[in-house]
Chain A
Amino acid sequence: MTRLAKIYLVAVLVFLYLPILVMMAMAFNRSALYEMPFTFDLVWFKALMENERLLQASWNSVWIAAVNAVIATALGTLAAYAFARYEFRLKGLLQLLLFPPITIPWLIIGISMLIFFFWVGIGRGLHAILLGHVALSLPYVIVVVGARLRDVSVQLEEAAATLGATPQQTFRRVTLPILAPGVIAAALFAFAVSFDQFVISYFLAAPGTSTLPVEIFTAIRKGFTPEINAISTIIILVSMSLMLLVARNYRFGGER
């Protein structure tokens, strides 16, 4: 029984990883048309280093993901704190409003943003992409920080208050340090949500300036792709190590 389960799970893992590994291998293959036999070469990584468009798009992606992580984590942590520490009438409604950004298909969210931003004059471009990414990251941040806040005992905060700390001091010196692992996990999470986001960026990108996934999509549609293998390999490795970091951080956070 154990053996059978192991064999099946390994088969599932092969299905999940096979295409990714093939793509990574092809990034190091000399032939542009994915021809065999396999000849190891870094030619596509060198080509990537000279591809201004892709480099600029990568820079845009990292920059937007970082700013997005800061804004979404700040706004989300405040809201999560209100949900965890206060009872108020609109709470249920506000929590319900977190669902649309994650449950409505991104295609629909993306084009509704395009329509509205164009209509009111916000327009397209990196600023519009940032606006959209923060909206998508907020629900995740609120959930992740909220989960951590539930573990922080209210008594600690009350003890600080009894001992004469002002609410601001309590928040800064008691709540925030305990909350830190959750906040860091949420920030990494928000970074990943933004860095991987394609659909919304695709509709909000202005011609000429865009993020990495949008550039990759355009290149795939044009049909010439070995450099894309190289950049994709880098992206996969970065995303996966980022997520391992979140997993680690989260576990340690739980034990502290």
Chain B
Amino acid sequence: MNKQSRQAWTIFGLTAPAYFWLTITVLLPLTAMLYFSFLTATPIGGKEASFTLKHYIGFFEKHIYRYNAWRSIQLGLFVTSICLMLAYPAALGLAKVIKGRWREAIFLLIILPFWSNALVRTFSWTMVLREPFDILYTYPAIVIGLVHAYLPYAILTIYVSLQSIDDSLIEASRSLGATRWQAFYRIMLPLSMPGVLAGIFLIFVPVIGSFMEPRILGGKQAIMLGPIIESQFTALNNWPLGAALSFIMLAIVLIILGISTPLIKPYLEKSS
């Protein structure tokens, strides 16, 4: 065997196990789901199924699905913007104001809960929101739970991009006569945009796809795409419809991210 083909076999041997696994658990399942979304019935247990577009057409014809999709998008925008607004000052304080041991300790405390169980953290809010606030099973309860779940992501990504900004840039702008506000607005904010953008991606997508938080904290207010898709598989047993709604959800996510990227792009180019 010559050297080149031996190297090719080595590479194959090293990567094949992992990618064989990913093929069986991610690529083929997504393909199968796409196929199912065009079927009239779940073709399991000898049931007859034929090709149809009705699940996709139904989304545009039936008000209920559009309403749910709109509520999901709204929730995504809501939670993402609240997270960014709360996270930016926190990341700024952590990256540029606080130093030494305090910074290390606070940073660790902020990222620690986001590695602990999301379900348990959501559940813990049911005890706080019950009494004396009495807003459990309402829309605000869903928002609070999701902000709590994703705030550390936003702080982390913004902190990383703020920390990489050279302090001498800000000192230079100040000595050239910029006010504190100008230095922040014209230099820090544009340079930290990659972190903000990463935060948007990391929060918006899972929030649109959430179903556990709305179910536990929202009760009857869990009128969103996530819970509707889940119920097609757990209660209503309409797998093709659930599959079609999942692809519509994916499309919505891709479209919104596609629209938002050009809007933020000028900032990204300025910073690089």
Interfacial residues, chain A to chain B (CB-CB below 8 A): 1-2, 4-6, 8-9, 12-13, 15-20, 22-23, 26, 34, 74-76, 78-79, 81-83, 86, 88, 94, 97-98, 100-101, 103-109, 111-119, 131-132, 134-135, 138, 142, 192, 195-196, 198-199, 202-203, 213, 216-217, 220-221, 225, 228-229, 232, 235-236, 239-240, 242-244, 247
Contact = CB atoms under 8 A, between A and B. Distances in A.
Interface string B1-40: 0000001101101110111011011111110110010000
A12 B110 contact: yes
8 contacts: A16-B109, A16-B113, A19-B148, A20-B116, A20-B124, A111-B246, A112-B243, A115-B32
A134 B233 CA distance: 23
Contacts of B121: 19-20
A13 B109 contact: yes
Given A12-B86, A12-B151, A115-B33, A138 B21 contact: yes
Interface string B98-116: 1000100010111011011
B174 interface: no
Interface residues of B, number: 79
Nearest to A18: B128
Tell me the interface secondary structure of chain B in the complex.
helix
B133 to A, nearest CB: 12
A240 B119 contact: no
Contacts of B212: 198-199, 202, 217
B90 interface: yes
B58 to A, nearest CB: 18
B209 A108 contact: yes
Given A220-B123, A235-B120, 6 more contacts: A17-B109, A23-B127, A79-B15, A108-B209, A203-B233, A236-B116
A13 B106 contact: yes
A119 to B, nearest CB: 6
Given A111-B229, A235-B117, A235-B120, A100 B30 contact: yes
Tell me the interface secondary structure of chain A in the complex.
helix
Contacts of A225: 123, 126
Nearest to A133: B25
Nearest to B225: A107
B150 to A, nearest CB: 11
Contacts of B118: 196, 198
A103 B242 contact: no
A181 B28 CA distance: 34
B219 to A, nearest CB: 10
A23 B209 contact: no
